[in-house]
Structure formats: structure tokens, C-alpha cells
Structure 1
Amino acid sequence: MTSPSPQPTQNTLVHCALDVWRRLGPTSRVVVLTGAGVAVVGLLSLLLSLSRWASVEVPAPGGNVREGVVGNPRFFNPLLATLPAERDITRLVFAGLTRLDASGEFVPDLAQEIARLPDDPTQYRVVLRENARFHDGTPLTSEDVVFTYRLAQDPAYAPTLAGRYSGIKLTAESERTIIFSFPQAAAHQALDLLRLGILPRHIWENTAPETFATHPANLKPVGAGPFVFTGLTRDESDNIAQVSLRSWRDAPRQLKISSLQFLFFPTHDLLEDALANGAIDTTANLPLSTFFSLPSRVQQRHTLYQRPTNRVFALFFNQNQEAALKDVRARRALDLLIDRRQLIENVLKSEAWATRGPLPPTEAFQPSTVNAEQRAQAERLLQEAGWGQGEDGMWRFGKDTSEGFAIVIRTGTQQPLPRVAEFIANQWSSAGIPTRVETFDTGALAAEVLRPRLYEVLLFGMVISTEGDLYPFWHSSQRNDPGVNVAQYANIKVDGALEKARSATSTRERQAALDTVVTTLLEEVPASFLFTPLFTYFARTDVQGIILPPVVSTPEDRFVQIDQWYRETDTLWKPVAALMGITR
């Protein structure tokens, strides 16, 4: 029977290795050491690659953001704030019952539940979040909500808001429940009205109207929003130069940014210098052209965010004032002859998007330039509409083709309106349609043009509400002053769709009604829809997570997803990140 071979011990292996090493010559030793080094480096590289492949960079708490704003804020109170600099702070320090989300829809904020009462579509029951509190720890109750809305309805306290909230009735049903009654059954309008920042009654309840604007709490605001006011500093002229905010640990939406600083500048030039010198991280107060004039090194360290605003500019045809515009074929011909690509690129310097209809576009599209086929189509339409060409080659309406006929575009004096009007007048004149422009300052435009409806073609901007309500601009009941149906448009089908959009209880129902309105307007051409100005926001590249809503109604809407902003990051293994619900 053969005995098993003895197993080599660790010492034996070491001695063997040393013996082999001693027998190697110098050259062989270099080869062995080089090979071992390459193997170690390769192994380390492999481990590093595996680590990178198996890990993910995720947002982490911490970091400060410095926001640059042009303006001189006076107070931080949602009932008094009118300047953008004031509204920015109040949006972050105060919270409403609802807020906008990243998709532009209204969602509960201080409210836990919002329900429309089945027996009355104008009434809503709002239940506050359990344990809702102000920054000072005081419970936020239905009495605070009722108190705030009552002040907002009083012109002595809220002169700029009283008209907006005057028709609302509300009662506190319990400590956490409020019944709202709105003047009309417009679901999205109601949810928008519930965005008003709630004031703490225990701080404001004994304040008289004459001392409301000078109350100390206007400069030391206490709200229930995502950020807590921590202080302000003033410059040598006693103007507010900086406001500091810190994230609220008890906020329903957990924040990643630790603090925000607002730096206020008296001029755009000083703001531009601050951006170039790295003194601020973000700003919404610089035009695109100014940013692109900065050195490339400054541009490269910033990210540009752009979304359409809620303003839609159009040419409105007054068929009651000019017989030549009564035929839809004539209006369609005029619309065809507007080169929107040149308008956007050359006149508006790409600071606007072309729009296909009365609502702000949610995505950019490249409008086509006017070509020979469109010009020929426009000429055919003019002929069919009863227009004719004179001996000078110019188009005029009716049998009289003599000189003297001209389309008149009326608009305001504030740019870019005169530039846009002149551009379109030149386009139409070049196509053989005599056109001239008349401009009016704001007061004269309202008194002499808009109210008496004295215009043939009006270049005018519609401010579309957050919920996309087109009723004020296109319902037949709004044709006369003080209504703003400036095209004096009347269509029973459109009236019905507008009413249905206002009373809709779901997004799908409202969108279907709006689609009917838009389709009909594009068919009947009571206006030529031109462009929507863009909201532009600049942020340093390391300030991440910024999400703007589809349409920016007010500049402070840039903060709707402030809880997603971050500046610091951590590295996690992918399985751990997946368990935590982190997809980035």
C-alpha cells in the first residue's frame, strides 16, 4: 500500500520561491517584476472599473445656492408682494393649500385632501395635513386659512389681490377642514386660487389696515413653506441687499439644498458683472443676448434652461371695422404671408417660440419660411375673397383698385411690439398688400383703441392663466369692453367648449374641450397667432435637479420643484440605490 505524498507547507513554498528568485539573472528578475507590476495595475484598473460600473452618483443633502435678482424688495408678505424680488421670497417662505408640480398640474401642498362636493360643483372641502405647522412651531389650522383669505378679500389689506379673491366664501368646518365656495364651477381656476400663501393668524390678527404694510413681520416673515427666513442685510442706502433662507427640516417635501441666498442688484449691468465674476450661481433676470455676450469661460460653467411663458402674441382681425377682413380666405392669406422663422430668428433674436394656436406651446418647433407656393396660394385666396390688383401691382379690396387702401396695424409702444408690427407690415407690403403701423402708449392704447374697439388689425398679447383658461379672450360674452375678446369673435360651438373647459372635473375632459376651441380658431382665423416669449434661467452646472414647469406663468414658478435641486453628491452601490428608490 503506497503512502500519500506529503503536502507542501507554506514555508516550503516560500523557500522554493526564494530559491527560484536566487537562480534568476538580473534580466529575468526585471522581466518578472515588470510582469507582476502590470498584473497589479491591471487588477486595480479592473476593480476600479467594476466599482464605477456598480455604483451611481446620487444627490446628497447640503450646499448653498446664491440667486441674483434685479430689484429692491420692500416686504415679504403674500398679500402685498408685487415685485418679482418679493414674490420669489414669499413663494419659498409661505405655502398654500395647493402648488404646481413639474407637469404644471395643481397638487395638494398644505392640504391633505381636496374634494369637490357632489351636490354643488362650486364647493370644495379642503382637509389640512395632519400636524401642519408654521416655522415657529405654531399649529396651522383652518382658522389661519380663513383669516388669510378674509384679509386677501379686503382692499384695505390686499389692494392688488382683493378683486381676484372677492367672490370666494369659506368657513372653518373643523380645526383641519375648510369649505370653499367659488363663484363659478371652474375646477382648475379653483385649485389655482388655493395657492395663496397662508399667514399665521397669531402674528397678524390684531394688525390694523393702516399698519399692515409696516408690520415688522413683513421683514421677518413666518410661513409654512419649504424655506425658513433667517435674516437680511442692507446696503449703504438702506436698501435690502441680501436675504438668507435655510431649508426647513419639517417641510413635507425633504429638501437637498441646505440654504438659499438672494442677492439684490439695482441694475442689470451689476447683475451681469456678478454672474461673470462668480458672485452668484443662478439668475432669471438676464436676457439671452446678454448671456451670449459674456466670455466663453463664463458661458461654459453655466447651464441654460428655457420654457415658454404664459403670454401669446397675435394679430387680431377686427371684421367689424374693416370689410376687407370679413372673408376667412383673406385672413388666411394674410396669415400665410407672415414669415415666422424670420420673425423668431431676426426680430425676436430667438428669445421666443413660434406658436400654432392660442395656447403657449409646450415644445419648440421650427416654423417654415414663406415660399413661392405659399405666396401663390395667398394670391388665389385674395382673389377668391374679392381682392384685386391695381396697375401698380398692389392688392386692394373690392372693385376700387385705386391708391389709398391700406391695412392698418395698431399696437403699443413697448418693444418688441413696434418691431414685430413693422416686420409684418413690411412682409405684407412686399407681397403687394399696402400696410402701415400706428403705435400708442399704454394709456392711449387702452382708452383710444382697445375699449372702443377702434382697430382693423391689433397686435396684442394674451396672458393665459395657469389653468389655460381661454374664456376671457374668445367667449362671445367678452366681446365688448371690459371684456378682452378683442377679435370680437362669436361662435356658439366655441362658447360651449369654453364653458365646458371651465367646468371640467378632469384634465382629459378639459383638454378635449380646449382642443375643440383651438381647432375651430385655426379654421376660422380670427387671429394670426405669432409667438410666445421664453423664460430663461441660468444656473451653474453644479446646481443640478432644476426642473421648470411646461409653461412658466410667473418667474417664481422656477421654484416649483425646489425639492429636487441639489449641489452635493454621494456615491452608492447600484443595488443600495435601487433599494432606496434612487434611479439616477
Structure 2
Amino acid sequence: MKFPKFSQWKQIFKTLRGAERIFFLVFIALAFLSASYLLINFYINNTKAVPGYGGTYTEGIVGQPRFINPIYGETNDVDRTLIDLVYSGLMTYDKDGNLINDLVKGYQISDNGRTYTFQLRDNLYWQDGMPLTSDDVIYTIKTIQNSDYKSPLRANWLDIGAEKISKNSFSFSINAPYNSFLENCAVKIIPAHIWKNVLPENSILSSYNLQPIGSGPYIISSIEQSNTGFIKNLSLAANQKYYNKPPYISNIFFDFFSNKDELIKAANQKAIDGFSITALDDNEAFAEKQIRQGWSANEKFDVYSFLMPRYFAVFFNANPPSGGSKILSDANITQALNYAVNKQELAQKIQSVFKGKISVVNSPILPDYFSYSPPETIYDFNTDTANKLLDKSGYKDSGTGQRVKINTKKPAFQFKNYLKSGSSGNEVVELQGCLARLDDNFKTLLASETNGKYSKGTEDAVTAFQKKYLADVPATGEAGSGTRKKLNELCLVPQDNSIPLQFTLTTINQPQLTQAANILKDYWQKVGVGVKIKIAELSELKTIIKNRDYDALLYGQAIGTEPDLYPFWHSTQINDPGLNLSEYQNKKVDQFLKDARETQDPASKAQEYEKLQNAILSDAPALFLYNPDYLYWVSKKIKGIDTTKIVDPAKRFENISNWYINTKRVWK
């Protein structure tokens, strides 16, 4: 049987009448559509969508880049963000905040935890095509350690030996075992061939601080500045020499703003695809209706919430500078201040304004984050217990709602010598003054005899005193032991010194913390504690913390994903640059910290930290409050963001290579 030729099909079509022709055309169309559907369905069922290359992402940031340089940029949020995109470290973090290899392919720990030997990956290159070797690693560490460069990272690398072994291997040696050392190794590496020709005194002026050569997933392609020098935007392109797979998103743009109002305006005008929540600071910024109001669901931002190993707490200064309040060195008082605060309610109040998840914190070791055992002591809200502890400390309600302590102080002067006619000196002056104040008759007898000489007038006044107050003692006119005792009793009345229970709470000028400070003030006033709030700008607060010039400090601390609490609580860290903000000292805690730092066994470290948390909470040198998740708003067009934990806001780009905009289909 032969299939009809096309010319024969044409003849068939001519033989058809009007209705038959329509039916025939419909049949052909349906057959074509059915075949197309079957082909498309077959393609869909046998392929899958995967990330594709291309697309651009624009982020808005409040602030300016200054040093896109790992040696200097750690103190600026904008710099740290860009450093993370342009540079690579020896170690990095995965989506769950765990340390993993980055530039290195492996490492070994030897000499009882004192030596770390690393091997670099093969075929590593800088963005200018030069090879990345162990020379670059050693140069980076030596530069950080060199005091002439004034790197903020220097304290992390003091007394650490760095030695090249071969082109691709090197070692670090430390004086004592330190199981959190690998977190130091997340430091980004700079190119020796670029920086070795720049003198230390010229390094902060180098153009490479804004036009860096790195080894990370992106390379800076352009910077646009205004006539005033303000950097308006910065462009990055995917680094085709990146050792790992090239990132899917081809270009990232950063638009810089002077304030949050400009940033929000840009978001509403569809000028940016995302922004960091750290740039926003009030209810308006957090309310979804304020961003892209009236847009469709697909146009609105996705809000990502990242958990961070940090907490906010009130640190009670046990040893403030001269003039500061010493009352917070009393554990009864600091325990009472803990009991007086309803942390659940405080977290809810803050969350109602600033949105995002806020978790209550009861311990300095974040047991929920690190899967440690919970503390034995938890200061649940209990004003009765708070009041009892304050009573125990000696501070009583004065009747005005303000607690005070009454200290009775004996007069420094006492009548001690036998005084009689002919005596003279200061003690006689005091005697004459005392008698004149006690009775107008004594004053008359003294007449003008107040010159410190014991004469007839003084003798007559003493005799009258003895007759009035010492009926059982012969009136001799001389100040013997019995007379002196009565004089001391009547003339030299002990002074009552009233000490109010009050202190100053210092915090940074940031809306979330100022709100928390005012909530704390209300709680503490309800148990009779007076609180003054001092709000400081960042530059001032740095000086305040350096000098430990505060009674109590409301502040945040980030403890890292490989927590080392030694800098935060060891007694050697009470002075700057240590981070023992309570100036807390406890020999047992010092030992727990040392043992936890030196062990290479995670289970042993956990045990030491669990003992540590119980000791600290018993002494109550701080009030641990809450941990807010880090919020990040991103356009729905961006896919592949699966991060759950970050150690620092800048680490939100740690897995940027997995983000994508475009997709393509491949055969299953």
C-alpha cells in the first residue's frame, strides 16, 4: 500500500465541499496540536529544570565602601560584604554555618593541637591570571601581624607562626592548643605580587583598596562616583578564573545610599532587587506594605531569615571607673535584675515592631544553637524573688518606690582627752561649740569664750551640763570620762547616708536597642531600681567600651560558629582589647575556658562549656536577653538561596555560586 503523494492530497482537498474542507482543516489542526502536546509532554516528563547562567542582581546598601581589602575592611559592613564576593579564604562556611575547605583541599592537626598543616588546591589563580600559592598565604598573615599596617585582625594572629613548606603547602603553629583556630583561617587571602610593592604607610591610600585583585567568585568591573566623590554604584562580573564552578548570576550591582529613606524609595521604584535588613531601622522599613505597595505577589520581596551565633545582653560592670556605681558587683542585685525582666514579653514587644523571629537567650553559650545541654539556672520572670534579693542586699523601699540603703557613719571626731581649766586646743573648741548648740543657758555661760581656751565660762557651762545630763555624777566642771561619753552621745550624732539603688544603662543609638533599653528601665523601676539611659553613637561607644566607662552596657556579642568564649569571659580579658565587658573574674570559669579551648574532643569541649554556663549564670554578671534572626529581602526572581545560618551579615553571599535567575532544561 502506497502513501498518497502531496499532489494527490491537494486533489483530495479540491474535491471537498465547504463544510468538508472546514472539518478537514480542523482535523489537521487538532492532529498537529495533539502531536505538539505529546512532544512537549514527553520533553517535560523526561527533562528537568536546572539553574542556567546569566542575569543580573542589584542590591541596595546604606553606606560606602572604603577598604575592599581583608587587611582593613573587617570594621565596615559594606567592605565585609564586598570582600566576601571578591576574595577567597582558606576556609569558608556552608549554608548551615559549618566551616568547610575553601582554597585548601585538606589540612592536618598535629603536635597536640599546636600545628596546622594545609594543602592548597591545584590550579588556583588570581583574577589577573597569576597563580595563587602558599607565598600569598604567608604574605597575608605576615602583613596582618605587622603593626605598621594597623590591621584590626592583628589580635587574632599575634604569636602565630606561619611557615611555607612548598608551593602549595604551609603550616601555622600556635603556642597552646586552640580548637577554634580554624575559624581564624576563614581570613581572606591577598595577592603578594600586588601588595608587596606597596609600603605600609601607603597601603591605606592604594587604589587596590577599591579596585582589588582577588580570587573569589566575582571581580569588580566598574565603579561610578559622583562629583563629590560619593560612590554611587559598583559593578561585579562573574570570575571565569574562579577555582570552583562559576556563579550562575553573571553580574551583581551594588547601589549605595546615604540613608534608609533613599534605599526604601529605590525599592519602591523597582531600582533594586534586594537589601540587607541592617540598613533599616524603624517600623516603616519593616512593614511589608511600605515596600512595593500594590504590587502583585510575584513582584514582592521574599524575606529570608538567617540564624546567627550571637546574643544581646546587659553586661553589669563589676569594676567601673572612678565615679561609677559599684552596686552591680553585688550578685544579689544582678540576680534580682535578671528575675525582674520578663524576657518573653520583651522579645514579643521588639518583634511586634521590628518583625522577624527573635529568640529568647538564657545562656552565654547558646545551647539551642550548638546543641549543648540547657543551663541549670534560668531566671524566669519573678518580681517576688527579685524584691527578696534586693531586700537581702540592704536596699529597702523608701516609700517613694525608689529603693535606698541607709549607711550609718560615725563622726570622725570624738572627745577623748581629760579636759579642765587651763586646757586648750581643737578639742576645747569642739567642746565649746557642742555646749553652745545644746542649750541656750550653756551658751550664755560660755559668753564669748569660744577661742579654744578652757577658762571660767567653759568650766561653768560644763558644770551646768553635768547637772542637767549627769545627775548621778558630781558636778566638777571638768570633762572626765563620763562627761566625755555623754558629750559624744549628744553632740556627735552619727550621720545617716542614704544611697539610692540606681545606675546608668548605656547602649548604641540603634532603634531596636533603644527600645529594649526603655523596656528594661520599666521592668527595673517596678522593683524600685532607678535607671538612667545613655544613648551613644557608634564612634563614642567604641571609646566607652575601650575604657569600660559604663555601669551597665546593653550590647551584642557574636561568638562564631566554632565558639571560643575565652575572649568574652576570661579574667585576663577585662581590659581592651579583651571582650570581658562585665569585668567578670572567677578562677573556676577561667579554668573551664582554658580546658574548653585546648581540648580537641568536641564532647569534652561541650562539657566544659556546660559547666561554664552554670557558673556564670550563678554569679549573674550579665542579663542575657535575645537573639534576633538576620533578615534579608530579595526579589522573587532570585532562586537557590538555601542558607539557614550565617556567622556574620556579610556571609549572606557565602553560597552565591548557587544563586540563579535563569533556568534551562536538561535530560533526566
What's the TM-score bracket when you normalise by the shorter of the two chains?
A: 0.7 to 0.9
The aligned counterpart of 1:462 is 557
How far did 1:121 drift? 1.9
Residue 291 (structure 2) aligned to one of 283, 290, 294: 294
Distance, in Å, in 2 between the alignment partners of 1:177 and 1:274 is: 47
1:181–1:453 CA distance, 2 compared to 1 (3 A): same
Structure 1 unaligned runs (5+)?
1-7, 12-25, 364-373, 577-584
The aligned counterpart of 1:228 is 219
| Equivalent AA in structure 2 for residue 173 of structure 1 | I
Q: Is the 8 A contact 1:331 1:526 kept in 2?
A: no
Q: Could you say what secondary structure the match of 1:192 adopts?
A: helix
Distance, in Å, in 2 between the alignment partners of 1:405 and 1:238 is: 53
How far did 1:559 drift? 0.9
How far did 1:561 drift? 0.8
The aligned counterpart of 1:73 is 65
Distance, in Å, in 2 between the alignment partners of 1:349 and 1:9 is: 75
Distance, in Å, in 1 between the alignment partners of 2:398 and 2:230 is: 66
Task: Return 332-341 or 212-221, whichever deviates more.
Answer: 332-341
The answer as to 2:340 corresponding to 1:340 is no
The answer as to 2:532 corresponding to 1:437 is yes
Q: Could you say what secondary structure the match of 2:627 adopts?
A: strand
The answer as to 2:202 corresponding to 1:206 is no
The answer as to 2:384 corresponding to 1:379 is yes
The aligned counterpart of 1:192 is 183
Q: Could you say what secondary structure the match of 1:164 adopts?
A: helix
Q: Could you say what secondary structure the match of 1:339 adopts?
A: helix
The answer as to 2:658 corresponding to 1:564 is yes
Tell me the alpha carbon deviations over residues 337-381 of structure 1, each in whole angstroms, 9 at most, x when there is no partner. 873244423565657543232246877xxxxxxxxxx77x53156
Distance, in Å, in 1 between the alignment partners of 2:365 and 2:221 is: 40
Q: Is the 8 A contact 1:344 1:351 kept in 2?
A: no
- Count, aligned residues: 542
How far did 1:216 drift? 3.9
Distance, in Å, in 2 between the alignment partners of 1:333 and 1:75 is: 45
Q: Could you say what secondary structure the match of 2:189 adopts?
A: coil
1:452–1:233 CA distance, 2 compared to 1 (3 A): closer
Distance, in Å, in 1 between the alignment partners of 2:536 and 2:611 is: 36
Q: Is the 8 A contact 1:411 1:418 kept in 2?
A: no
How far did 1:558 drift? 0.8
| Equivalent AA in structure 1 for residue 523 of structure 2 | Q
How far did 1:277 drift? 1.6
1:452–1:34 CA distance, 2 compared to 1 (3 A): closer
Residues 129-208 of structure 1: pairs in structure 2 closer than 5 A: 129-188=121-180, 190-208=181-199
The answer as to 2:317 corresponding to 1:326 is no
Tell me the alpha carbon deviations over residues 53-112 of structure 1, each in whole angstroms, 9 at most, x when there is no partner. 665432222222122222232443222334333332222121121112222222221112
What CA RMSD, in Å, does the superposition of the two structures yield over aligned residues?
Answer: 4.2
Distance, in Å, in 2 between the alignment partners of 1:233 and 1:323 is: 53
Q: Is the 8 A contact 1:305 1:536 kept in 2?
A: yes
Q: Is the 8 A contact 2:223 2:234 kept in 1?
A: yes
The aligned counterpart of 2:640 is 545
Distance, in Å, in 2 between the alignment partners of 1:448 and 1:212 is: 29
Q: Is the 8 A contact 1:451 1:481 kept in 2?
A: yes
Q: Could you say what secondary structure the match of 1:187 adopts?
A: coil
Q: Could you say what secondary structure the match of 2:327 adopts?
A: coil
Distance, in Å, in 2 between the alignment partners of 1:271 and 1:50 is: 46
Q: Is the 8 A contact 1:347 1:420 kept in 2?
A: no
Residue 240 (structure 1) aligned to one of 221, 231, 252: 231
The aligned counterpart of 1:421 is 517
Distance, in Å, in 1 between the alignment partners of 2:621 and 2:91 is: 36
Q: Is the 8 A contact 1:155 1:161 kept in 2?
A: no
Distance, in Å, in 1 between the alignment partners of 2:125 and 2:273 is: 31
Distance, in Å, in 2 between the alignment partners of 1:235 and 1:415 is: 29
1:35–1:340 CA distance, 2 compared to 1 (3 A): farther
1:33–1:131 CA distance, 2 compared to 1 (3 A): closer
The answer as to 2:314 corresponding to 1:315 is yes
The answer as to 2:105 corresponding to 1:112 is yes
| Equivalent AA in structure 2 for residue 294 of structure 1 | I
1:89–1:390 CA distance, 2 compared to 1 (3 A): closer
Tell me the alpha carbon deviations over residues 18-68 of structure 1, each in whole angstroms, 9 at most, x when there is no partner. xxxxxxxx9xx9999999999998998788777656654322222221222
Q: Could you say what secondary structure the match of 2:624 adopts?
A: strand
| Equivalent AA in structure 1 for residue 216 of structure 2 | G
Distance, in Å, in 2 between the alignment partners of 1:275 and 1:337 is: 34
Scaled by the length of structure 2, the TM-score of the pair is: 0.69
| Equivalent AA in structure 2 for residue 314 of structure 1 | A
Q: Could you say what secondary structure the match of 1:542 adopts?
A: coil
| Equivalent AA in structure 1 for residue 650 of structure 2 | E
Tell me the alpha carbon deviations over residues 121-170 of structure 1, each in whole angstroms, 9 at most, x when there is no partner. 22211111122221222221111211222222223334433343332221
| Equivalent AA in structure 1 for residue 260 of structure 2 | H
Distance, in Å, in 1 between the alignment partners of 2:168 and 2:300 is: 47
Scaled by the length of structure 1, the TM-score of the pair is: 0.78
Question: Which structure: larger Rg?
Answer: 2
The aligned counterpart of 1:84 is 77
The aligned counterpart of 1:3 is none
Distance, in Å, in 2 between the alignment partners of 1:445 and 1:132 is: 42
Q: Could you say what secondary structure the match of 1:468 adopts?
A: coil
How far did 1:399 drift? 9.1
How far did 1:489 drift? 3.7
| Equivalent AA in structure 1 for residue 102 of structure 2 | D
Q: Could you say what secondary structure the match of 2:525 adopts?
A: helix
Q: Is the 8 A contact 1:409 1:421 kept in 2?
A: no
Distance, in Å, in 1 between the alignment partners of 2:641 and 2:331 is: 46
Tell me the alpha carbon deviations over residues 444-491 of structure 1, each in whole angstroms, 9 at most, x when there is no partner. 877789846763x54343343453222222223434666443434444
Q: Is the 8 A contact 1:256 1:564 kept in 2?
A: yes
| Equivalent AA in structure 1 for residue 251 of structure 2 | S
Q: Is the 8 A contact 2:397 2:528 kept in 1?
A: no
1:347–1:474 CA distance, 2 compared to 1 (3 A): farther
Task: Return 470-479 or 36-45, whichever deviates more.
Answer: 36-45
1:390–1:48 CA distance, 2 compared to 1 (3 A): same
